[in-house]
Structure 1
Amino acid sequence: MDNQIEVIIKEEKGRIDKVLNDRLTEYSRSQIQQWIKNQHVSIDGKPIRANYKVSAGDQILIEIPEPEELDLVPENLNLEIVYEDDDVVIVNKPQGMVVHPSAGHPQGTLVNGLLYQIKTLSTINDVVRPGIVHRIDKDTSGLLMVAKNDRAHEALAKQLKDKTSLRKYVALVHGEIPHEKGRIEAPIGRSKVNRKMQDVIEDGKPAVTHFEVLKRYEGYTLIELQLETGRTHQIRVHMKYIGYPVAGDPLYGPKKTLKGNGQFLHAKLLGFEHPTTGEMMVFEAPLPELFKKTLKQLKEKD
């Protein structure tokens, strides 16, 4: 254990796990509680209990244990490779698949499948994210670009940062949106209420989403969205914020919603300048069968 954090209490009051959670925003409350349980949190060399209430002047020492090493196993997951050359791979990720391994998802991820099907992947990210330039949520389907070498990775990542790449999504949302187009500009950051969620907050990172109505149904609207920024859960948070949450969304949507395997959100189109040839490349993926079937069951508005 060579990673230590020292927190000095000034004015805060309350249970130590809550106080630390407010101060150490990059860690979840459950993670902090686990450290306390495993006696990695101490004051004056003595481990403290979870119900300890902090006092002004407390010097809290946290010894962060080394993360468990994940054994990356290539798996034959029959990934749908839309395109591949010496630099880039375009994958159509199915709904329900996590992009890269983590403690809760050591196997069955897109990375496990890539390691089986693709000979070489870029090494810029950490060991559990080879080739991964950007992500989409577990229960969002659709297109992802993957880099096969570091030069391509840097070029693709720069396009995302410079907002020159093209990303379009299709979503089915609750409610009938009255106008044809819209632009949502609202900063996004971690929710102050639920650490697993994102929210529109004053001190969040800038986030811009554009949308256009494709079709209206009774109680629902099918929309196409284009991202200017790529914040965590951006579309889901922004649509909830304006009162039209994504159907099927277990985190941000209503409890009474359409049956499915999570949110009805699909990364339909991906465009970028090829890192070697400079050619503009655009790829599209059709809606998943469940998404199409659900739309057929809805009643269209005239």
Structure 2
Amino acid sequence: MITFTYAVKDSDGTLEQLLRDDWKAGKKNIHELRMANAVTEAEGVPAVWRTPLIAGTELTFHLPEAHSEYEPLEVPGVKILQEDAHFIAVFKPAGIAVHPDGTSRESTMMNAVMAHIQEQGGTYAEHIQRLDKGTSGIVIVAKHPMAKAMFDRMIASNEITRLYNAEVEGRLKRLKGSVNMPIGRDRHHPTRRRVSMSGQTAVTHFKVIERKEDTTLIEATLDTGRTHQIRVHMAHLGHPVVGDNLYEASALPDGSYRLTAVETSFIHPFTGEKVVISTL
């Protein structure tokens, strides 16, 4: 059983309104909670769904047991940055994948997260974001299935903002700009993407932070989350990410490339508070 508590804020809304309108928890989740009497007040008394809640009332949510299949392993470089009852913000180093792909035996970020979850007595963790194996930075992980559903909805509606830092080849002339070019698969390469008029809409905004002798440091934000988006768009401008030889940059000796998700922000789906996680 997965449980968490919530203190009702300054609202005279009902439990049903809280779940439906404020949390946008989804009809299926709401129905299952209601049928199972899975929301209780003090001393385990089932909550009343259509009576206005009193501010300060503490609700306890009892979710069915859920399991994730990641093997718990220690993975160097993976760090927990922030955590509550609903999510974990994890720093993923470059060079490891977010999750196993079924073909590689290499340890991944989710193996390390599952080790952390099991130390707390938990059995469930699922990532709601991905980063390319060579990209370092912040990844959000849900700690229970309802949180996963709610964060997935936020991702789909672009309610989670990510800030990236990158070093690109050459000296960008513009101080800031946007690239609005669709991205699709490169039919000549199994993993590469390319700007393609038949691809998916992709919008990247960038701002110059520093110009070096042969490279430029930029900040980038995305309106969309396409595979390799920043890498493809910057290469399309003629300024590939330093070290990204998949997109025609010169390879670095260690095989890495210079792209990091340095900040993530969102309105917490359960508390309504602004959450900012940063490595800056």
> What TM-score, normalized to structure 2?
0.71
1:275 Cα deviation from its structure 2 partner: 2.1
Task: Tell me the amino acid that sits aligned with residue 278 of structure 1.
Answer: G
- 1:266–1:179 CA distance, 2 compared to 1 (3 A): same
CA contact (8 A) 1:187 1:203 kept: yes
Corresponding residue number in structure 2 for 1:241: 236
What is the match of residue 161 of structure 1? 156
Question: What is the aligned-residue RMSD (CA, Å)?
Answer: 1.6
Report Cα offsets for 1:45-102 as digits up to 9, x if no partner.
Answer: xxxxxxxxxxxxxxxxxxxxxxxxxx84210225310011110100011111111111
Q: Is 1:76 matched up with 2:71?
A: no
Aligned partners of 1:121 and 1:147 also within 8 Å: no
Question: What SS does the aligned partner of 1:236 have?
Answer: helix
Amino acid at match of 1:101: P
Q: Does 1:98 align with 2:97?
A: yes
Residue segments in structure 1 that go unaligned for 5+ positions in a row: 1-70, 123-129, 287-302
Using the TM superposition, name which of 99-108 and 237-246 deviates more: 99-108
Give identity over the alignment, percent.
38
**Structure 2 counterpart of 1:75, one-letter code:** L
Alpha carbons 1:182, 1:210 under 8 Å: kept: yes
Q: Distance in 2 between matches of 1:228 and 1:72?
A: 31
SS in 2 for 1:151: helix
Task: Report the Cα offset of residue 259 of structure 1.
Answer: 3.8
On the 8 A contact 1:174/1:246 being kept in 2, the answer is yes
Equivalent of 1:276 in 250, 270, 276: 270
Q: CA deviation at 1:136?
A: 0.3
Structure 1 stretches (4+) deviating beyond 2 angstroms?
103-107, 119-122, 256-261
Q: Give the whole-Å Cα distance in 2 for the aligned partners of 1:242 and 1:280.
A: 34
Provide the residue aligned with 2:23 in structure 1.
none
The aligned residue for residue 213 of structure 1 is 208
1:202 corresponds in structure 2 to: 197
Q: What is aligned with 2:279? A: 285
TM-superposed deviation, 1:258: 4.3
Quick one: which of 140, 143, 149 aligns to 2:138? 143
Question: What is the total number of aligned residue pairs between the two structures?
Answer: 208
1:280 Cα deviation from its structure 2 partner:
1.1
Partner of residue 165 from structure 2, selected from 148, 165, 170: 170
SS of 1:77 mapped into structure 2: coil
* Partner SS for 2:247: coil
User: What are the ranges of 5 or more consecutive residues in structure 2 without an aligned counterpart?
Assistant: 1-68
The superposition leaves residues 115-157 of structure 1 with CA deviations (integer Å, 9 ceiling, x where unpaired) of 11114365xxxxxxx4110100111111010000111112211
Q: Is the 8 Å Cα contact of residues 181 and 233 (structure 2) preserved in structure 1?
A: yes
Instruction: Report the Cα offset of residue 272 of structure 1.
Output: 1.2
The alpha-carbon deviation at position 165 of structure 1 amounts to 1.1
The Cα of 1:185 is off from its aligned counterpart by 0.5
Instruction: Give the TM-score normalised by structure 1.
Output: 0.66
